[in-house]
Structure 1
Amino acid sequence: MNNRLSARPTHRALLGTALGHALEWYDWGIYAIFVPFFSTRFFAPHDEVSAVLSSLAVFAVGFAARPIGGLVVGRLADRVGRKPMMLATVAGMAAGSLIIGLCPTYATLGAGASAILVLARVLQGLATGGELPSAQTYLAEYAPRRRRGLWSSVIYIASVGGNTIGVLLGLLLSALLSESDMASFGWRIPFIVGGVLGAGTLWIRRSLAETAAFTDEREERPRLWQEVLRHRRQAVQVVGMSVGLTVVYYAWVIAAPAYAIDAMHVNADSAMLAGVLSSLLLIGLLPAWGALSDRVGRRPVLLISTLGTAVSLFPLQAMINGSAWRLGVAMAIAMVFIGAGVSILPAAYAEMFPTHIRTVGLAVPYSIAVAAFGGTAPYLQTWMGETAGRAAFTGYVVLLLLVSAMTVLTLPETRGMSLTTTGNDSDDTEGIEREAA
């Protein structure tokens, strides 16, 4: 088989998966970044504080919708296929972004504008609840088994990249537009861009092939809840693995610069630059950790991540001390340990469940963990910092990381395992050859 031809489907699968997940985190980031500019456009403008709080409450609504989306989309992905649901989730995210970007304001529609914003965020929440489990299941099943850890790193490369693009776009628009222009029309630009990116991702994903693991077992579809109960141990393990890494990912990869600006009075431009540079470092580290897990196993790498991060957080927090360059160094060190875990979570999750419930088995507990712990992290970080000091939230994160580490110890080693019950998935190119054919 021509190597160039066989490589094209591989690149398409990686690109299609990555772009959809990048879009999820891009949408997540731009909503949080641009809230100060569009909040009074959707809620009563005479009370600016109330408008911002209302917009943040709508942000939380998106998190609340995720478990429902995970259940519905995950179940359909296990019944009709990974590819159709990957198309549906991208369409939902893109539509929600376009609706927000093009929606009339409160001055035009009154409370109707608020309702449209809520509905758009619910749509995005339902879509994102199904996007990660569908996409990472697809990628894990498509990947050669001996390189599954390396391939799974694409998921978080995409998430960091999507969030970073949103931050850079925010900085660019803030530099080019006045504050009045940002409040008037500038805030619409990133949401419209998100819709366009979603359309491009749909065009790429439409040509993807279904995974061999799903098509080989299409007829084997036992009853859902019977199978969920049979695999309740794995569902609990998903929650345990996710709680620590989800919160530390939010606290150090996403929110550290903003928190340093607000609570530690670090220069805003320098803090944002530290965040972008550390994110680029994380992107470079992810495939290296994924490849290492393919050699030494998932459990050792996950333990390095959870325990290494837990041990280092208090010294790293103390290192920052109001300095932008220290913030950058602390974030860079944190990325080394955080990257080890998040790079291979998609592979580890996929290896925990059989094909017929692989997506929904992950989607429901994962969405619950993200909603309960990731969704509350911004509030808890601010509240604990104000009432008990920064060390209280750091201690909370360390505790959750130890829960994740203990959960990892209960897992069997799954490196290189087959993802089909027949055990006939190839070590190298079966997925590539199937799609090229």
Structure 2
Amino acid sequence: MDSMTAEATRPAGTAMSAVERRRSLVATGVGNLLEWFDWAVYAVFSTYISAALFSKEDPVSALLGTLAVFAVGFVMRPLGGFVFGRLADKKGRKWVLLVTMLMMAAGSLVIALIPSYETIGGFASILLLLARLIQGFAHGGESTASNVYLPEIAPHAKRALYGSTVAVAMGGGTLIATLFGTVLAQQIEASAMGEWGWRIPFFFGALLAIVVLWLRRNMMESEVHTEHVSAVAAAAKNATTDPGWTRGQIAKRAVEVFFYMAGTTLPYYIWSSYAAVYAISQQGMEPGPAFAATLGATVLNICLVPVMGWISDRIGRRIPVIFYNLATAALTFPMFGLISSDPWTLFAAQSIMMGISACIGGTQPAMISEQVPTKYRMLIMGTAMPLAVALFGGTAPYLNTWFTSAGNGWLFNLYMIAVCLGSAAVVWRWKEIKGIDLRDVR
């Protein structure tokens, strides 16, 4: 992989061609699609996984155990972001995007092959946990590297549009995972789904890794990163130092990014992946129609994300993000109250909330990249971003299920509203510097 990375790394000061930018954009996007499919398919098939790999004596406990493993996978994301963030500074963004993709696929293959709880008992749950830890570690690195890499290779005036492909891939991966849930639930009998049908999408994700590796072999290294490395080397040779930010400034921006990400992550995981599970387990909705409703809402989100990226490149990042946070806070109670056993209620609630979330998908990579200098971009994004996703996104399904099953779903709603308002307060304090040359971010 080091040889492949070296072949696609250009000398500092040499700009990418338009063809090289597009090729690298496509390779990153397709890889992101696979990574998010491997990640989201676990949530989509959580009810089947709980029945197959946990004890069936208490179905609610089994589901909570499955969601706890989902949350534990998120615990590894900050570590993955930190480790791969350091590696991305040394070996390049491309190297990280290759390695993390292979690790994610390996985790999916392990899950597909785990024997059932009836066959090996508690070892089935342990193997599932180990596979999700590997995936969480890889996902932290992939998400960080992608959110940094795409804004760095983008033309200044199209930074949000390029960066929006991260959210398109996120939605696309979730869409394909949901599509599997919809088709398999309709075509395979319930007993067969519980025995082997749920394993199909995990095999699918593992096999697609070969295609992604082929696409990513010719990705170009970020010229912003290459020039930064050359500048650091030149400074060391000339015995000069760049004072940069103080530790206090670094910590302050990391905390701000953390709370910004909390408000963007928590609602997205609830409405993109968990809403269908909530409708099935809490409202008695049939699995097939529930997955179909999520499918439709996800398509809407995917279509709106690049549109919002295009708009953001013209009006800036702050207005869309603040609108998203305030709208999400205002609509949380009404949208959860709308969901019943009728599929149209889930579709309506998800469509509204996923439509609003396009404001984040179209702006997030560009916004953070413009707020953090290249010298600290991987450091801050590799720690604050996956940590926020782990603490707020990874625990969201578990907390929602726990509060709702106890009749206190309104407490979770208040929690989500408070997180969104905190995120809006952070963005309000940031300056609008859309389209700035990332070399000039100070």
Quickly name the TM-score band, shorter chain normalised.
0.7 to 0.9
Deviation, 1:342, is 2.7
Residue 40 of structure 2 corresponds to residue 21 of structure 1: no
User: Residue by residue, what CA displacement relative to the aligned partner does 1:345-365 show, whole Å, maximum 9, x if unpaired?
Assistant: 111111222213212211211
- The range that moved more, 199-208 or 40-49, is 40-49
Return the alpha-carbon distance in structure 2 between the equivalents of residues 413 and 189 of structure 1: 46
Deviation, 1:379, is 2.1
Return the alpha-carbon distance in structure 2 between the equivalents of residues 383 and 28 of structure 1: 22
Residue 262 of structure 1 aligns with which residue? 281
Residue 333 of structure 1 aligns with which residue? 352
Percent identity at matched positions? Answer: 39
Relative to 1, partners in 2 of residues 1:40 and 1:293: Cα closer, same or farther, differing over 3 Å? closer
Residue 293 of structure 2 aligns with which residue? 274
Q: CA RMSD in A?
A: 2.8
How many residues are matched?
A: 418
Residue 260 of structure 2 corresponds to residue 241 of structure 1: yes
Relative to 1, partners in 2 of residues 1:258 and 1:40: Cα closer, same or farther, differing over 3 Å? closer
CA contact (8 A) 1:20 1:131 kept: no
Residue 325 of structure 2 corresponds to residue 306 of structure 1: yes
Relative to 1, partners in 2 of residues 1:69 and 1:228: Cα closer, same or farther, differing over 3 Å? farther
Relative to 1, partners in 2 of residues 1:326 and 1:42: Cα closer, same or farther, differing over 3 Å? closer
In the alignment, which of 145, 149, 152 is matched to residue 141 of structure 1?
A: 152
CA contact (8 A) 2:67 2:397 kept: no
Return the alpha-carbon distance in structure 2 between the equivalents of residues 156 and 197 of structure 1: 20
- The range that moved more, 279-288 or 381-390, is 381-390
Relative to 1, partners in 2 of residues 1:188 and 1:335: Cα closer, same or farther, differing over 3 Å? closer
Residue 60 of structure 1 aligns with which residue? 71
CA contact (8 A) 1:97 1:194 kept: yes
- Structure 1-normalised TM-score? 0.87
In the alignment, which of 80, 91, 95 is matched to residue 106 of structure 2?
A: 95
Structure 2: gaps spanning 5 or more residues: 1-15, 234-240
CA contact (8 A) 1:228 1:361 kept: no
Structure 1: gaps spanning 5 or more residues: 424-437
Where in structure 2 are the equivalents of 1:285-296 lying within 5 Å?
A: 285-296=304-315
CA contact (8 A) 1:160 1:279 kept: yes
In the alignment, which of 109, 127, 130 is matched to residue 138 of structure 2?
A: 127
Residue 393 of structure 1 aligns with which residue? 412
Paired letter, 2:311: L
CA contact (8 A) 1:77 1:359 kept: yes
Deviation, 1:54, is 4.2
1:17 aligned counterpart, secondary structure: helix
Deviation, 1:119, is 2.4
Residue 197 of structure 2 corresponds to residue 197 of structure 1: no
CA contact (8 A) 2:186 2:288 kept: no
1:59 aligned counterpart, secondary structure: helix
CA contact (8 A) 2:36 2:174 kept: yes
Residue 129 of structure 2 aligns with which residue? 118
Residue 214 of structure 1 aligns with which residue? 225
Return the alpha-carbon distance in structure 2 between the equivalents of residues 106 and 262 of structure 1: 21
2:438 aligned counterpart, secondary structure: coil
Return the alpha-carbon distance in structure 2 between the equivalents of residues 193 and 46 of structure 1: 31
Paired letter, 1:69: G
1:308 aligned counterpart, secondary structure: helix
CA contact (8 A) 1:306 1:337 kept: no
Return the alpha-carbon distance in structure 2 between the equivalents of residues 123 and 42 of structure 1: 18
Relative to 1, partners in 2 of residues 1:52 and 1:395: Cα closer, same or farther, differing over 3 Å? closer
Deviation, 1:158, is 0.7
Return the alpha-carbon distance in structure 2 between the equivalents of residues 375 and 190 of structure 1: 21
Paired letter, 1:315: P
Deviation, 1:7, is 5.1
Deviation, 1:288, is 1.2
